[in-house]
Amino acid sequence: MRQVTPLTDGWILHHPEGTGQALPASVPGCVHTDLLAAGLIPDPFLGRDETEVAWVGRRTWTYERDLPAGGSAHERTDLVFDGLDTVAEILLDGRPLGRVRNMHRSYRFDVTGLSGRLTVRFASAYDEAEAVRGAVGDRPGAYPEPYQYVRKMACSFGWDWGPTLVTAGIWRPVRLEHWSTARIARVRPLVTVADGAGVVELAVDVERTEGGAPLDVEASVGGVRARARFEGTAGTVRLRVPDVRLWWPRGYGEQPLYEVELTLFDGEGAVDSWRRRTGFRTVELDTSPDAHGTGFTLVVNGERLFARGVNWIPDDAFPSRITRDRYRRRLEQAAAAGVDLVRVWGGGIYESEDFYDACDELGLLVWQDFPFACAAYPEEQPLRGEVEAEARENVVRLMPHPSLVLWNGNNENQWGFRDWGWEPALAGDSWGEGYYLGLLPRVVAESDPTRPYTAGSPWSGSWLRHPNDPAHGTHHSWEVWNRRDYADYRLDVPRFVAEFGWQAPPAYATLRRALPGEELAADSPGVLHHQKAADGNGKLERGLARHFAVPEGDFDRWHYLTQLNQVRAVAAGIEHWRSHWPVCAGSVVWQLNDCWPVTSWSAIDGDGREKPLYHELRRLYADRLLTVRTDGDGDASAGRGGGRRLVVAAVNQAAEEWRTVLRLRRTAVDGRVLAEAEPRCAADARTVALVEVPAELVPVGPEEFLVADAQDPAGGEPLRALHFPAADRDIPYPRPEFEVALAPEGVTVTARTLVRDLLLQADRLDPEASADRGPVTLLPGERVTIGVRGWQTPDLKAARAALYCVEPAG
C-alpha cells in the first residue's frame, strides 16, 4: 500500500538578501508567522504596525530542510505540496524540480531515489504580478494593488476590511508519498438520488509506474459493495444504496453522512485506497421567469428554501493559522445564529477540508465562489492555464461534500465591467468574461454536473439586463450603505440579496487589545487605521445622524450607537425581505467574520467576539419571525385611515403551521396603551401570513409606536415586533429608568420607563465575558435577565456601567 511520510519538522527560513540568519520555520505556515515567532517583526494586527511589515511581501524568502535518504521498498516516491503561496522554485541539492505560481493548487514531483537539501524559494508576489501585468497589459480593479495578475488570495493585498499583508510560504501540508505499481490519482464522485436510492458513481484516474496489467477497484458505501476492472489509467465503479437517508440543511432535517471507501488492487493485493464522507441529497437552482422577473431559489430535496445566509471571508489574514477547531467554533457560531447558508467569497481561498467537513456536519449549505473578485482578470497565458488547472482540481476535491450546493463564477466582476468604468478602459481587452461564461461553466458541467453554476454575483442571467438588476437573479445592495438611509432597504424586493450590510466597530475589548495605550476616539489614529473602507467613518457618522443626536467626544456612546445602527440596518433589510418570501428567496449578510481587529460589516469581530449584530441575527434568522411592514402607496405616518396599510407579517419557516393570537398595542412613549386588539393569525409551514393593523392602532406622530406580540409555539421567548414611525432623534423618549440586580450567571434589568435597545457590553466587565443576547427593548414593568459567561468577579456597579440604551435627544 501507499505510504506517507509527513515533512512537517526540520524546516528553516532565511532571507538571502539579508544577513542569512536561519530561523526555525513552521510548516504549514508563512513568512510573517515565522518572523513573528522569532520576534523579528511587530504584530501587524496591533496599532499601526501593519505598515511596519509591508516590506516582508516584497522580498524573496527561502525554506529549506533535508529530504530523507532512500529506504523505501516502493518503486516510486513523490514529493507532494498541498499548497504553496504563491510563486516558488523547488530545488533538490540545487537541481530544479519545478516552478509554481498558484496558491490554489497542489503540486507533485517525482523524487524517486533522490535525497539531499530541499529548497523552496519564494519570489515576491508583487514581482510576479508586475511581470504578468507587463506581459498582458493593465486591467482595472476596485483597489490599486495588483491582485488580479497572480493566482493568490486577493485579500492578501488588502481590502476595505482587511490589512495589506502579502504572504509567502508553505501554507498547507507537505509530504513524501511512496507507492508501487499504481496509485489513485483522482476520484470524481457523482452522488445523486433516484427513486429513493442513493447512487454513487466513482470515476477513478490512476497513475502507473510501468506496464498495463489489469487493475481492480472495489468501492463500498452504506453496506453496498461493487467492483470493477480496467486495463488503462481510468475506470468507473457504480453503487446503488437502497432506502438512503437524505442529508438536509439545518432546520429541515438531519445530516446523515456515509463513508465512501475505494481500494485499488493489482494482482498481488491492495496498492492504494481513498476514503471520504458524503451525503445524499438533490439540489437545484430555480431561475425560472415569473411575474416578478427572474427567480433565484435554491431547492434541496425538492424543498424550496429562503436562504438565511452570511458571507465568509478568510478567518485570519494568515490562513495557515486557522485550525480545525477554529473553523468548527466559527461555523458553530453561524449555525447557532440561525444561518443555513455560508457563501465563501471570491477574494479569498478554496477553504480547507476542515471547513467543509464542519458544514457537512452542521447542515450549513455552502455557496462557493471561484477566486475572482472586484477586478478585470486577464485571460491570456500564463493565467488561463492556471485558472483551468485550479478549477478542475478544486471542483473534484470538494465534490464529496453534500453541504456544497452552488458554484459561482466571481464576485462583482460583471457589475464592475458595466458600471465601474471598466468597459471603456479595457477597449476590448480580456477581463474574465471568458472564464465566467465559458471556461468555468464547462469545467463544472464536465466534472460536477450534480450542482448548479451561476456566472457571478450579482448577475441577472443575461447581458440584456443590468447585471445587478434586483428583479432578476442575485443582487448586491450597496447603495444603501454608501449613500442612503437603511430604511431604503424597504423600497424594493430583490429576488435574492447576496450581499448587503452596515459597518460597526469591533467589541470594546477587541479595540483595547488591538490599540494598546491609545486614548480611544472615533478619529484616533489607531481607530482610523483599523477602518479600511473609503470614507468609512464618514458613512458611519452620516448613518448615525439620520437617526440619533450623537454627543461629540463621547467615544463610549459613539461605540454603542454605531453598533446599534448596524443592528437596525441589517434588521430593516432581513425583516423586509423575509416578509416577501417567496418572491425574495434569500439574504446573505455581508459578513459573518473578520480576519483581524477592524471596523467592518461583520457580526463576529477579529478576536472572535460576537457583536450585537450576531445576537440580532439569531432573532432575524429564527424559524419564526414577527415584523411590521407598510404596503401600498402614501405615508403610513400621515394619519389613521389614510396613507399606506400597516401590516404585521408572521414569517414561518418551520415545518409546522403557526397559529397564534397577535396582541397589538398602540402605545405612547410614556407607557400608556392608547388602543389594542387581538387578531388571529395563521401561517402554514414555510409561508408568510399578513395581518393588517386596524386603522385605530396605526401610530400617529413621534410620541406613539406599535407593539406586536405573539407566542412561539416551539416554546421559546415570545416574539415581538416594534414599529416607530419616527427617527429616534425626533422621538420624545422619557429619561430611561431601570433597576439592575445581579442574577445567577447574569444580570437582571427591570424597566420603570420605556427602555429602548438596552445592551449589556459584557466584554467591558471582563475581556473573556460574553452576553447571551443583544439589544432588547423593554416596556414599563418588563424585566429581562441577561446571561453572562466568563465573568469571574460579578459586581453590580460594573454591571450598571456596562449597560447602554437609547437616550432622549439633547
One domain for residues 619 and 631: no
In a domain, 549, yes or no: no
CB count in 10 Å sphere of residue 450: 18
One domain for residues 682 and 799: no
pLDDT band at 210 (very low <50, low <70, confident <90, very high): confident
pLDDT, average across residues 247-255: 97
* Residue 635 pLDDT: 40
* Residue 638 pLDDT: 40
In a domain, 809, yes or no: no
One domain for residues 45 and 146: yes
| pLDDT of 370 over the 60 cut | yes
Question: Cell 485571460 sits at which residue?
Answer: 379
331-351 pLDDT tens trace: 999 999 999 999 999 999 999
Sheet with 673-677: list strands edge to edge.
673-677, 663-668, 704-710, 719-723
One domain for residues 472 and 381: yes
* Residue 739 pLDDT: 97
CATH number of domain containing 450: 3.20.20.80
One domain for residues 332 and 228: no
One domain for residues 631 and 590: no
Phi, psi angle pair for 462, to nearest 5°: -165, 145
Where does a domain end: 730, 750, 774? 730
| pLDDT of 731 over the 60 cut | yes
pLDDT band at 716 (very low <50, low <70, confident <90, very high): confident
| Helix pair angle (353-362, 324-336), 10° resolution | 30
pLDDT band at 634 (very low <50, low <70, confident <90, very high): very low
Grid coordinates in use for 131?
511581470
- Amino acid letter, 10: G
What is the rounded distance in angstroms from the CA atom of residue 84 to the CA atom of residue 110?
17
Catalytic residues: 412
| pLDDT of 641 over the 50 cut | no
647-705 pLDDT tens trace: 999 999 999 999 999 999 999 999 999 999 999 999 999 999 999 999 999 999 999 99
Mean pLDDT of the chain: 95
Sign of the C-alpha dihedral computed for residues 575, 576, 579 and 582 taken in this order: negative
In a domain, 551, yes or no: no
* Residue 70 pLDDT: 66
What is the rounded distance in angstroms from the CA atom of residue 783 to the CA atom of residue 778?
7
561-618 pLDDT tens trace: 999 999 999 999 999 999 999 999 999 999 999 999 999 999 999 999 999 999 999 9
Hey, which residues does 76 pair with through a beta bridge? 179
* Residue 678 pLDDT: 97
* Residue 472 pLDDT: 98
Specify whether the CB–CB gap between 318 and 165 falls below 8 A: yes
In a domain, 546, yes or no: no
* Residue 19 pLDDT: 53
One domain for residues 643 and 760: no
In a domain, 313, yes or no: yes
What is the rounded distance in angstroms from the CA atom of residue 675 to the CA atom of residue 677?
7
pLDDT, average across residues 501-518: 97
One domain for residues 444 and 586: yes
In a domain, 434, yes or no: yes
What is the rounded distance in angstroms from the CA atom of residue 528 to the CA atom of residue 746?
34
One domain for residues 341 and 481: yes
pTM of the model: 0.96
CB count in 10 Å sphere of residue 455: 23
* Residue 785 pLDDT: 97
Sheet with 3-6: list strands edge to edge.
3-6, 174-179, 76-81, 107-110
One domain for residues 66 and 192: no
214-224 pLDDT tens trace: 999 999 999 99
Where does a domain end: 144, 175, 206? 175
One domain for residues 243 and 362: no
* Residue 643 pLDDT: 55
Closest CA to 656 of 710, 616, 585, 712: 712
- H helices of 184-323, in order, are none
For the chain, percent of residues with pLDDT exceeding 70: 98
State the total domains in the chain.
Answer: 5
Residues contacting residue 236 through CB under 8 Å, at least 6 positions apart: 201, 202, 203, 204, 228
pLDDT, average across residues 378-385: 97
> What does the DSSP assignment read for 664-676?
EEEEETTS-EEEE
Q: How many CA atoms lie within 13 A of 807 on its CB side?
A: 13
One domain for residues 745 and 715: no
CATH number of domain containing 149: 2.60.120.260
In a domain, 273, yes or no: yes
Question: Cell 519570489 sits at which residue?
Answer: 123
* Residue 636 pLDDT: 38
739-764 pLDDT tens trace: 999 999 999 999 999 999 999 999 99
* Residue 597 pLDDT: 98
In a domain, 252, yes or no: yes
Longest dimension (CA), the chain: 90
| pLDDT of 48 over the 80 cut | yes
pLDDT, average across residues 83-106: 98
Closest CA to 701 of 655, 666, 741, 652: 666
125-153 pLDDT tens trace: 999 999 999 999 999 999 999 999 999 99
* Residue 56 pLDDT: 97
* Residue 662 pLDDT: 97
- The residue range of the domain holding 526 is 309-533+560-623
CATH number of domain containing 231: 2.60.40.10
What is the rounded distance in angstroms from the CA atom of residue 601 to the CA atom of residue 591?
6
* Residue 714 pLDDT: 83
Lowest mean pLDDT among 273-287, 622-636, 733-747: 622-636
Where does a domain end: 260, 278, 296? 278
Sign of the C-alpha dihedral computed for residues 290, 296, 301 and 307 taken in this order: negative
* Residue 72 pLDDT: 76
